[in-house]
Chains A and B, each alone.
Chain A
Amino acid sequence: MGRIHLHADGTEYHHDHDHPHDRDHHHDVGDHSGYAETGTVRVDILESLLSENDRVAEVNRSALTQAGVRAVNLMSSPGAGKTTLLKRTLRQLGASMRIGILEGDIATSLDADELDGAGARAIALVNTSAGFGGECHLDAVMVRAGMSRIPLDDIELLIIENVGNLVCPAEFSVGEHARAMVYAVTEGEEKPLKYPVMFRAADVVVVNKIDLLPHLDFDLVMFLSNLKAVNPSARVIHASARTG
């Protein structure tokens, strides 16, 4: 399908699509206001805003796949229990599975320190404020930098602990094979509706802190139905990282 633009001077521009088609294309809403201007010409770009990030993410993914490593991008809001869950996972699986951790944090090494000695083969810390502009998420370039400090041949699973944030990390692919999010029941049942991009991005949702349910008026059924409304295919795991 070609695209034709008729400029004010009568020039016709044909644009053949030489890029892959995706759902982002929406040809009916083009802005044509610029055509009337004289002395300027419209140049079509039609490129994803995240194309550079996605390109680097693909490089990361191939490097991981080639080394036989599966990577999980672990996301959540601050305080949902990512680090505690990771620590528990390392304690339980660290002996039988070679796990590497890539720890994303804005400025501190607190989480990385907490995981130290829990059973990971390697831990790499990426501070998003160190040369990356204090970002609220990990992007593919940051993960690439962190990966260079992890001996990929020595591990089989890489868990990437993203910056605690329910908004930004969802938009940035980092080269992972799966996306998991930790969700604490203390966060309220309406969050899937308020942060749909994050909940839609997750392959797995770990519903954490379920040991607290008796003390809360959290409606688990309502939460699961809200989750299903934004992401019908997400796998749900109920857990308490603290009590097991």
Chain B
Amino acid sequence: MHELSICDAILGTTIQRADGRPVTQVTVRIGHLRQVVPDALLFGWEVLTESTDLKGCELLVEQVPATVRCEECQDETTLEMPILACGSCGSFDVELLSGEEFLIVSMQVSEA
């Protein structure tokens, strides 16, 4: 629902880091536990960049599944639902390994 503000944050960081260099691609990494809709993000990106120097710059969204390690049976499982429980034995005593990522990973800039 706030994909536009997220795009705005990506845009701000990108412009600052690019320091005037043309950017062709930006990669972000978002975990499944974040409530971000990739399509909405891509649409927001297109709308926001339209009127900037970043027009045409591609946004790549890497999605990271949510995984947990069970403290009881030690299994590592991938969550199908956002419920923090072990996929093998059902225990709630789990450590979250991934799924909360919310990063601007990198950008691709043209060399001068």
Residues of A participating in the B interface, judged by any CB pair closer than 8 Å = 23-24, 26, 29-31, 33-34, 37, 39-53, 133, 135-137, 139, 165, 167-168, 171-172, 193, 195-197, 228-230, 232
Contact = CB atoms under 8 A, between A and B. Distances in A.
A24 B85 CA distance: 20
A41 B111 contact: yes
Contacts of B20: none
The residue in A33, A42, A139 that gathers the most chain B C-beta atoms within 10 A of its C-beta is A42
A102 to B, nearest CB: 19
A88 B2 CA distance: 31
B60 to A, nearest CB: 6
Given A196-B82, A197-B33, A45 B109 contact: no
B2 A48 contact: no
Chain A facing B: main interface SS? mixed
Chain B interface size band reads 35 or more
Interface in B60-86: 60, 62, 64, 81-85
A44 B27 CA distance: 10
Contacts of B24: 34, 37, 40
Interface of B: 1-2, 4-6, 9-10, 12-13, 17-18, 24-25, 27-31, 33-35, 60, 62, 64, 81-85, 92, 96, 98, 100-111
Contacts of A37: 24, 108
B2 A171 contact: yes
Contact of B2 (A31, A33, A135, A228): A135
B100 A47 contact: no
Contacts, number: 125
A193 B81 contact: yes
Given A53-B9, A196-B33, A229-B83, A46 B109 contact: no
A230 B82 contact: yes
A95 B109 CA distance: 59
Contacts of B35: 167, 171, 195, 197
B60 A193 contact: no
B81 A43 contact: no
Shortest 5 CB-CB distances between A and B: which pairs? A196-B82, A168-B2, A34-B108, A45-B104, A229-B83
Contacts of B13: 45, 47, 51-52
Contact of A42 (B18, B62, B82, B108): B108
10 contacts: A24-B101, A24-B102, A31-B27, A31-B106, A40-B109, A43-B17, A45-B105, A46-B103, A195-B35, A230-B83
B100 A23 contact: yes
Contacts of B9: 49-53
Given A26-B98, A44-B105, A53-B9, A39 B60 contact: no
B104 A43 contact: no
Contact of A41 (B1, B4, B60, B109): B109
Contact of B5 (A40, A45, A135): A135
Contacts of A44: 105-106
Nearest to A134: B4
A42 B6 contact: no
The residue in A139, A171, A195 that gathers the most chain B C-beta atoms within 10 A of its C-beta is A171
